Each structure stands twice: as structure tokens, then as C-alpha cells.
Amino acid sequence: MVVRKRKQYQQLRTNFVESKLPDIMTIVGDVKRKEQDLDLQIDHVTASAEQQASSLKSLVSAVQGKLSDTLEAEKVKELSPWKKLSDEIEGRLKNVQTDMEKFEQTLEGKEVRHLPAMMRKLTNDMDFRKDLAIPIIPPHKMEFEGYNIDENVVEKIFGRLRKVIDESRIDELPLIRPRLLPPPKCEISVLRTLDFSSEQRKGLGVTFLANMDDKTLIVGIDKQLFLAEKFRPGWRKIERVAATPLCQYNQDAIVLRDDSNSSRMLLLNVNGKMRSYQKLQQGEISGALVTRSRHTIVTLFTEEDCYGELIRHDKDFKPIQRVDTKDDGTYIFAKPFSIAENRNYDLWVTDTAANTVDVIDKLGNSRFTYEPKEQLSKFEPQHVVCDSNLNALISDTGHKNIHVLDRNGSVLRYLQTYDLDIWPLTLAIEREGQLWVGDYKKSKIYLIQYF
């Protein structure tokens, strides 16, 4: 019995060795070859990752070095976004290095099951360029308006940085975008419309507009004033006054000119309470502005002589500055109207009789006069406001558009409001790039995006 069993076992073993063992050895050989192929792929990925990391490190080092030299040589603080970009690239490179270390640990431990996930994470971290916040040089020169920097120097700086990145030979890395001036004419978009139309106000335009706070506006139509919600429907009447609104006094009140006495100014609170503000000894008040330093600037004019002047008053309303003539003795103003102050304390004053805009520095000297002549023979400036980038925005009823100028009077663009059937008169800045516009033919105001 035992002998028979042994023979059966030997027979089975012989059959197994002859029939099954070659297949098993074949499978083992395939597994070994696949393991070798996997090792080759891992070596290739590791070498590629190291090469990319080395190239990116070289690029970061080159960009950082160039930025440091440029900032020291030219003293241009606006290049700080590129330092932030290089710091972000360096941080992402650290993530890649960490992934590579974990990758090597996984290979040493032969934890093959983790390799697909590790390779996906390493690939994702290496492809970080899509998430980078590449700084954009704005077309309206806002980054450079606070400094007296020659335009050729700026272009030279960005040309150097472009050359550094081109020489790095990393094909897919985003290049620095060139700083381009916008076209003279620019389309705009309307974000919101507030309609005050009624049968009583048919054909009446918006003659006054003041941005009181984050939620409310004061709107003047004829002699009626309204307190309007910016982003919710609804408004209420404040008061129907025998006075002309001039400017905002603070978040709760506006300054008006008494129609019965043109040298007297009034204060009107948003709750409808009115009181006397100040009275001048002589002259007809045409415009006013309360500055950030709480000075009150008043423009006066004499219609018979076609002569105007600007007077600055301190906090106690004592005259401290009078502006009426240039250095050569000629008059600056004929009929000054709207006043705005920028961050450099320059005053922009529209002249509705001479159809010009005069710019006065904080010492009372005339900087320049804006008077377009080429294709704008019907230039009729009305209201002017200044944004946080030192740009001035001027409503032009002659061409039914808005001029956007830099602090030196160069035209950045014309906002084509007439294409949207908007007749601009009154203006109020909402936030950077957004402007409230009052229509002088309809009882409507519009919030527009102008860049």
C-alpha cells in the first residue's frame, strides 16, 4: 500500500515538474522583467524631477538676483509682486523636494502599492505653474503713478527680466507680460442702474451725486434730494430745497449754496435738518470741496468780468490761500465749477466758460491746463473726480463721454458712455475701477466698470 502511494506521488511530482513548472518559471521571469522596467521608469522619473527642480532652482536664483539688482539700481518699489512670485515658486519647489524624498523612501521600502499615488502627487506638484498668480502690469500705469519714473526706464527694466526668463529655457513658464497703454477709446460695462424716474421728474437729469458711505448715495434731481441704497432697491426723499448742492461735507451731510444769497453756504444732514454753514463777504460761489485735511475750498466767479478765483479756508474757515493768476500774471479761471483733490494734494478744477481743466498744486501754483484740441473741438468739461491711482475722470457733455487722465494730464482713455445711451454729468468714485455716473437727460444713475 505504501509502495503504491509513493509511486503515485512520484508520478504526480513528475507530471507537475514537466507540465506546470515551465509556466511558473515563465511567470516569474515576466514578474522580474516588469520589476526591472518599473525600476527603470522610477529612475527616469526621479532623474527628470531632479532636472526640473535644478532648472527651476536656477531660474529662481536668476530672477531673485536680477530683481535685487534692479530694485537697488532703479528704486522701483512696484516690482515687489515679482519677489512674491519668486517666493511662491521657491515654496512650491520645497514641496517637490519633499515629494522626492518620500518617493525615495517608498522605493527603499519596496512599497510598490504606494507608487501610483506618489507619482500622481509628484507630477501635480511639479505642474504648479497653472496655479501661480502672475502679476499683471495694469494698462493705465497705476503701479507707477506715485513716482517720477521715466517710461523708457520702466520698459528697460521689464525687458531685462524678460531676457532672464527667456535664457532659462523653460518653455512653459509664463513670461512677464509687457506694460501696454490702453486704446484711446474704451468700452465699458454697466454693473447697476438706479432709476428715479416719475411723471414729475420726466426729462430731468441728475445734477448732484455724493457717495456717502458703503451703502448709500445722495442724489440730486432738480431741487429734490434723495437718499438712495446702492445695492438694494429703495430710496427716500430728504428735502426739496431752494439751494444748489455743491459737495459732500462728511458721511452725514452735504454742502449747498443758498439760491437766495449766492455767497452763503448751508449744511444739510441726511435726516433733512438744514443749518447755515459759512458766508463769504463777496462773490458768487460756483463750487466747493471739503478736503481730507478738513480744509474748505471755494471757487468764486464774476460773470460780468468772466473772472474766477479759488480760495482755501482752514478748519476755522479762515482764508489761507487764494489762487487766481499764473506766474505770468494771466488769469487761470473764467468760471470754475467742479473741484477734486488727488492723493498728491493737487486740485483739479473744471472751467465751464473756458472749457478747460486746470490743475493747481498744494502751494497754489498752476501745474498745467488740460485743453484737448485735436479731435475734441466740442470739449465741455463738467464734473471731475480723482481715484486712488491719481487718475482724474472728467465728464464731457460736449462729446457725451468721460475722459480718464493720469496725474500729468495725459489721456489714458475715453469712456464711451454714449454707446450705452448714458449722458454723463455728475460722477462719484465707488471703489477702484468702479464709478457712479449721473445722467443729465434722465433721472438715472449708473455704476460702471471703467477698467
Is the pLDDT score of 305 beyond 80? no
Section 347-359 average pLDDT: 93
Q: Residue 44 has what pLDDT? A: 77
Q: What are phi and psi of 446, to 5 degrees?
A: -130, 140
Q: What is the pLDDT of residue 52?
A: 75
pLDDT value at position 174? 40
Local structure of residue 32 (DSSP, 8 states): H
DSSP secondary structure letters along 319-374:
EEEEE-B-TTS-BSBSSEEEEEE-TT--EEEEETTTTEEEEE-TTS-EEEEE---S
Q: What integer best gives the mean pLDDT of the chain?
A: 78
Strand partners, 253: 269
The per-residue pLDDT for range 209-267, each reduced to its tens digit, is: 999 888 899 999 988 889 999 888 778 888 777 889 999 998 889 999 998 888 899 99
337 vs 141: which has the higher pLDDT: 337
Q: Ranked by mean pLDDT, which of 6-20, 36-50, 111-125, 187-201 comes out on top?
A: 187-201
* pLDDT bracket for residue 139 (50, 70, 90): very low
Lowest mean pLDDT among 87-96, 346-355, 365-374: 87-96
Per-residue model confidence (pLDDT) at position 140: 38
Architecture category of domain 185-449 in CATH = 6 Propeller (2.120)
163-183 average pLDDT score? 44
Model pLDDT, residue 182 = 45
Give the pLDDT of residue 17: 64
Which band of pLDDT confidence, cut at 50, 70 and 90, is reported for residue 336?
A: very high
Whether the predicted pLDDT of 299 surpasses 50: yes
pTM above 0.75, yes or no: no
For the range 28-34, what are the long-range contacts, defined as Cβ-Cβ under 8 Å and sequence gap of 24 or more? Answer: none
Lowest-confidence pick of 370-379, 417-426, 437-446: 370-379
Assess whether pLDDT exceeds 60 at residue 163: no
Residue 297 pLDDT exceeds 80: yes
Alpha carbon distances (Å) from 285 to 260, 265, 432: 12, 8, 31
| Residue with cell string 507530471 | 15
Quote the pLDDT of residue 23.
72
Range of lowest pLDDT (42-51, 339-348, 407-416) = 42-51
Query: What per-residue confidence (pLDDT) applies to 120?
Result: 63
User: Considering the chain, what percentage of its residues have pLDDT values greater than 70?
Assistant: 72
Q: Where are the domains of the chain?
A: 2-135, 185-449
pLDDT of residue 147: 43
Confidence check: pLDDT of 71 > 80: no
Q: Which residues contact 233 (CB under 8 A, 6 or more apart)?
A: none
Other Cβ atoms less than 10 A from the Cβ of 287: the count is: 23
Band the pLDDT of 131: cuts 50, 70, 90: low
Q: What confidence score (pLDDT) does residue 181 get? A: 44
Looking at residue 39, its pLDDT comes to 79
Residue corresponding to grid cell 532703479: 74
Q: What is the pLDDT of residue 142?
A: 39
- Quickly list DSSP for 64-104: HHHHHHHHHHH--GGGHHHHHHHHHHHHHHHHHHHHHHHHH
Instruction: Quote the pLDDT of residue 375.
Output: 53
Confidence band, pLDDT 50/70/90 cuts, at residue 97: confident
Write the secondary structure of 151-206 as one string of H (helix), E (strand) and C (coil).
Answer: HHHHHHHHHHHHHHHHHHCCCCCCCCCCCCCCCCEECCEEEEEEECCCCCCCCCCE
Handedness of CA 345, 350, 351, 357 (dihedral sign): positive
